[in-house]
Amino acid sequence: MEKLCIASTNEGKICELESILENVFKLYSLKDFKSIPEIQEPYESFLENAQFKAQYYSQFTQILTLSEDAGLEVLALNGFPGIRTHEFIKHSGGLVNAYYRLAELLSDKENYSAQFRCASVLYDPVHGRYYVGEGSMKGSICFPAKGIHGFGFDPIFVPDGYEQTVAELGEVIKTAIGHRGKSIRTLLENYHLGLFL
């Protein structure tokens, strides 16, 4: 079984990816590698950031390295926070504060439609190949936060066709319908078919 590093230290993200990848690869995460300097995401698209991070971290892992970039896009806010979702949380002073901040930004809006988007890239450092997958999950923002499963904005996001937040629906449903799961499954299909950039 080939070795693959999930280029993340986010436990929720790692668990979500492991549930899809564990029967395909022998999995590691950045926690299994010492002293890898973290890098910023310098590009203006999820895909470019994912490519950049996958290649960067592969220099240290020397094995297949998977990175992804994802974000929440709110229609009434012209796609904000989008590519800057992580920064939005950080500048808000944490996730709970980000919920309150988002509620403030939407207080005079009628449309709470939103989507999660994700781009995933598997980089093969031996052959210099990128395998890519993208996915999205449409829905709407709701307040207050509800549910204990998942991470990030899951407690304030209700997917289309459901009445509960992602955090209420749980990991199995999230992996089946979510942006990250869709992205990784597309990537795996491309990897098995030998379709690379």
Closest CA to 13 of 188, 195, 196, 174: 174
Closest CA to 187 of 31, 10, 25: 25
Q: Which residues of 44-57 are buried (b: 16+ CB within 10 A; e: fewer)?
A: eebbbbbbbbbbbb
Closest CA to 150 of 136, 139, 163, 165: 165
Helices and strands counted in the chain (H then E) = 7, 6
- H helices present in 147-178, as ranges: 166-169, 171-177
**What residues are annotated to the active site?**
69
Among positive and negative, which fits the CA dihedral 71, 126, 56, 51? negative
Give the tokens for residue 117.
Answer: 């988007």
- What is the three-class DSSP state of 5? strand
